[in-house]
Amino acid sequence: MTTIKSPISTPGSRISDTFFYQPECAYHCRLWITPDEEGYSVIVASLPGIISEGNTIDEAIEHIREAFSAAMESYIESGMPTPWTNEDPFDKPENTIERWVILNA
Domain-wise residue ranges, the chain: 3-104
CATH of 3-104, one of 3.30.160.250, 3.30.300.10, 3.40.50.720, 3.90.1200.10: 3.30.160.250
d(CA 89, CA 83): 12
Which helix (H) or strand (E) segment holds residue 59: the answer is helix 57-78
List pLDDT tens digits, range 64-88.
999 999 998 898 889 888 888 888 8
Statement: the pTM of the whole predicted model exceeds 0.85: no
d(CA 21, CA 36): 31
List pLDDT tens digits, range 22-61.
556 788 899 999 999 999 999 999 888 899 999 999 999 9
